[in-house]
Chain A
Amino acid sequence: MKISHDDEGNLHRLLDGELLPEAAVALRARIAAEPALAARFRALEGLRSCFAGDRFAGERGSGAPLSAGFTAGVLAAARRLPSRHEMDEQEVGDGVIVVCRRLLLAAAVVVAFGLVWRSGVIGRVFEVSHGALEAESSEMEQEIQRLDALIQSGAIGERSPK
């Protein structure tokens, strides 16, 4: 039996205690009546037990307690900080520096591009690429007609096939 997208979402919400009480009651009644839904819900509950086990371990062990002087240490470090007014000023200053740095970078890029342009490198690149382009078909046609005319006038000789 298929479990719909909505049912799947509601099973997660039920597991997380996020369903409204009446919706939770209704879904629990369906879980009791529908084996596929019940199996899926038990599987989700099982999955959650993985985290519960790790949470237990974390709370007991690796959630290393902070040192006794932690609060005092933070307060001492906070005392060494500049005043809020100074920090605000510093933040503004930092912001200005960032903007200036970006503007300088943009200006450097523009200047570099200008220098390259003036040196003619870009122009040559374009020329080369233009040179590589084929002529328009109308130009080709004109050129063929011109050559035909030259041959007919005897200005140039027609090559005989060998």
Chain B
Amino acid sequence: MFALKRPLEVPDRELIAAALDGSEPAFAALIDRYKDRVSRLLGRYCRDPVECEDLSQEVFLKVFRKLHTFQQESAFFTWLYRIAVNAATDHMSRSSYRRLRLVEDETVLDPGSRDEASPVAPLMAAELAAVTREIVAKLPEKYRTILILREYEDLSYTEIADVLQIQMGTVESRLFRARQRFKEQLERLHPELVPGRDLEPASGRGRSPGGGVQ
């Protein structure tokens, strides 16, 4: 039986091997290690906490079923993220629920939750956060996913390539285009919220980053 005295110090590889041998505590340790990240990632696709928890459970059950197929060449968490991203996109297409649901998030709209000196700044920041979420929700799935992985999950280009199983060059061009799409939407819908809009030379606006900017 696999014993977990200090689970955080046990490498993923050992936990996986033990879980494959039928150790429930080892699999529980894997879940405990990654459940918050998975939940946070899925929370970017579905905002309903109950739905998000169900989806998280679905992800870990799929991990349980497919663990024997995991190739140790890549990091476990990128494999896990791949499953989570696929589950999220499947879930959204299943329920014809292709967009993030905008929730009036009390934390986002609570001016007291931020520490800026100006009383206006927190409101602006909250509005910007809500608008950002709204725009990301409306982006095509491939752009939304790559922005979520890069901007919210802080994955490197290599990790994103691994999760999405695409080439590095594709990661770059897709990410640059996603940012450009985001910027265009922000400029179109809320030009007053575009950060540093006075900084960029006028000739540089509206061009594709992937396709040359003037």
* Residue A50 at the chain B interface, CB threshold 8 Å: yes
Q: Check if A61 sits within 8 Å of B108, measured CB to CB.
A: yes
Report chain A residues within 8 Å CB of B89. Answer: none
Q: Given the complex of chains A and B, what is the CA–CA distance between A52 and B114 in angstroms?
A: 13
Q: Check if B200 sits within 8 Å of A64, measured CB to CB.
A: no
Interface segment, one of A2-10, A20-28, A121-129, A135-143: A2-10
3 smallest beta-carbon distances between A and B, as pairs: A61-B107, A46-B195, A46-B196
In the complex with contacts A16-B150, A74-B60, A45-B196 CB distance below 8 A: yes
Q: Check if B175 sits within 8 Å of A58, measured CB to CB.
A: no
* Residue B39 at the chain A interface, CB threshold 8 Å: yes
Interface segment, one of A65-73, A96-104, A105-113, A152-160: A65-73
Q: Check if A9 sits within 8 Å of B172, measured CB to CB.
A: yes
A-B contact pairs, 11 of them (CB 8 A): A8-B213, A12-B179, A16-B150, A40-B213, A50-B129, A54-B128, A56-B114, A61-B107, A62-B103, A64-B52, A74-B64
Cβ proximity bits B91-123 to A, threshold 8 Å, 1 near / 0 not = 000000000000101111000011000000000
Interface size class on chain A is: 35 or more
Report chain A residues within 8 Å CB of B193. Answer: 50
Q: Check if B128 sits within 8 Å of A53, measured CB to CB.
A: yes
Closest to A15 in B: B179
In the complex with contacts A53-B128, A54-B129, A75-B28, A66-B56 CB distance below 8 A: yes
Q: Check if A51 sits within 8 Å of B105, measured CB to CB.
A: no
Q: Check if A51 sits within 8 Å of B132, measured CB to CB.
A: yes
Report chain B residues within 8 Å CB of A39. Answer: 199-201, 204
Q: Given the complex of chains A and B, what is the CA–CA distance between A47 and B150 in angstroms?
A: 13
Q: Check if A42 sits within 8 Å of B209, measured CB to CB.
A: no
* Set B47, B61, B125: member contacting A62, Cβ < 8 A: B47
Closest to A78 in B: B64
In the complex with contacts A50-B186, A62-B103, A74-B60, A57-B204 CB distance below 8 A: no
Q: Check if B32 sits within 8 Å of A71, measured CB to CB.
A: yes
Q: Check if B57 sits within 8 Å of A74, measured CB to CB.
A: yes
Closest to A55 in B: B152
Q: Check if A47 sits within 8 Å of B128, measured CB to CB.
A: no
* Residue B44 at the chain A interface, CB threshold 8 Å: yes
Q: Given the complex of chains A and B, what is the CA–CA distance between A75 and B64 in angstroms?
A: 9
Q: Given the complex of chains A and B, what is the CA–CA distance between A64 and B50 in angstroms?
A: 9
Report chain B residues within 8 Å CB of A64. Answer: 39, 43, 49, 52-53
Report chain B residues within 8 Å CB of A150. Answer: none
Cβ proximity bits B164-175 to A, threshold 8 Å, 1 near / 0 not = 000000001001
Minimum C-beta distance from B42 to chain A (A): 10
* Residue B81 at the chain A interface, CB threshold 8 Å: no
User: Which one of A1, A74, A84 has the greatest number of beta carbons of chain B within 10 Å?
Assistant: A74
